[in-house]
Amino acid sequence: MERLLPQSEREEGVFEVTIDAADVTISKEVLYRALGYSDNRIDPHFKDIVDHVLAGIHDLCAVRAGYRVLDAHVKADRGEGLVVGRTFITTGCTIAGQLKNAEKAALFLCTIGPGMEAWSRRLFREGDPVRGHFVDTAASLAAEKAAAVLHDHIGLVMAGGGLKVTNRFSPGYCGWPVADQRRLFSFFPENFCGISLTESALMVPVKSVSGMIGIGAHAMRENYSCERCSRKECTASRAYKNSAPT
């Protein structure tokens, strides 16, 4: 359920939002589907593993999330991206098209921390790859859930000023190069929310999500158009499909 969460200003215009581990809980059914199973086709042993993994999420997820809102506009002569603050971000035409009505953009970061990732790696190391795979999948879904909760929160904050928000978009998807991650991170203080970037623009902890949300009086959240993205199999698309009303 959408609700306004507590937030504090870390530095001018940069907000950290308090998201509890309970807010990123995922249901068994969502995890079954992300693993490939419809509810009635999963082996009882796998169901037991799912129960075990989901029970661990609360203790192992240390969610941190934050955002910054800046003026933004798509430049008519540079359709492959948009200007955020004074920086041109090369999101690609697909995302720029989705953000064409944006007057502002919320850049965001969130993570569930390193706990789930470490658990998964340990299980693989100890010879339990099945459980390790389940933990990794659950962790990816929890990170997406954290991003969804933050997205809803930003939507409510903006609604207070009479503005609406678009879908959220992340580097690596819909044609937005992963390398642009560095530009996105430049808008935040170093190690904001405990997330850093490796030389190859990989976020650490790995179970983190970064991205951008368009804001404006005429901005709209639409159904995700995964068919427009070149990545045919990703946790985000599975999460969107799973959260879609049936």
Contacts with another protein by CB under 8 A lie at 35-37, 43-46, 48, 120-121, 124, 127, 129-130, 132-134, 136, 172, 177-179, 198-202, 204, 206, 231, 233-234
Residue 19: name the closest of 82, 53, 62, 56 by CA: 62
Q: Rounded distance, CA 238 to CA 218, Å? A: 28
CB of 199 to another protein, least distance (A): 6
Residue closer to another protein (CB basis): 81 or 214: 81
Nearer to another protein, 75 or 125 (CB): 125
Matching residue, tokens 């992340």: 170
Q: How far is the CB of 45 from another protein (least distance, A)?
A: 4
Q: What angle do CA 21, 208, 162 make, to 5 degrees?
A: 75
Give residue 172's region: left, alpha or beta (phi > 0; psi -120 to 50). Answer: left
Report in angstroms how near the CB of residue 4 gets to another protein at its nearest: 34
How many C-beta atoms lie closer than 10 Å to residue 213's C-beta? 26
Nearer to another protein, 9 or 48 (CB): 48
Residue 142 CB, nearest approach to another protein (Å): 16
> In this structure, are residues 163 and 154 in contact, taking their beta carbons and an 8 Å threshold?
no
Are residues 86 and 94 in contact, defined by beta-carbon separation less than 8 angstroms? no
The least CB distance from residue 183 to another protein, in Å, is 13
Burial class (CB in 10 A: 0-12, 13-18, 19+), 46: middle
Whether residue 185 contacts residue 68, with contact meaning beta carbons closer than 8 Å, is answered with: no
For another protein, which is the closer residue by CB, 6 or 129? 129
CB 246, min distance to another protein, A: 20
Nearer to another protein, 22 or 202 (CB): 202
Question: For residues 41 and 86, which CB has a smaller minimum distance to another protein in the complex?
Answer: 41
To which residue do tokens 């009882």 refer? 44
